[in-house]
Structure 1
């Protein structure tokens, strides 16, 4: 998988959180969730999703996406995605 593909897949995994109402908490919540999505355990990621959304379709999609990440992304893909996201996290906009 390409680096861009890995980042795109990672960002798709956090889409359930884009409805978080407190703007000041969006970046920390996304950071924690994306880190779990990319490199955390399957169970920890799903628990994190459940904190923000109990919709069964969102949970099923999150489960499917996490399984895909765990099966398809190499360690290098995951590291590349995390490196790119760290640049975003360090932005003054976040």
Structure 2
């Protein structure tokens, strides 16, 4: 039966459903890791900009600019993750950790 297109499609769908819980668990970990990374990166860039400000204000401006650019992308990711969090069946968390 697997050699025929309909049978192959049915088996493919069956195995995808069988592995779905594992994929959900993996994605929940990935989502939390991404949220944690975004928060830690934001804090790190702010800290480094403040440190550099004392010795090299022009470099501090560039560090802050880099932080703003990263922040724009990170904000888009967080918006999408918050939309995902509202979906029925979402079992992950957006709390860093």
Q: Bigger relative contact order, structure 1 or 2, given CA contacts below 8 A and separation 6+?
A: 1
Shorter-chain TM-score above 0.5: no
Relative to the length of structure 1, the TM-score reads 0.40
Q: Return the index of the structure with the highest Cα Rg.
A: 2
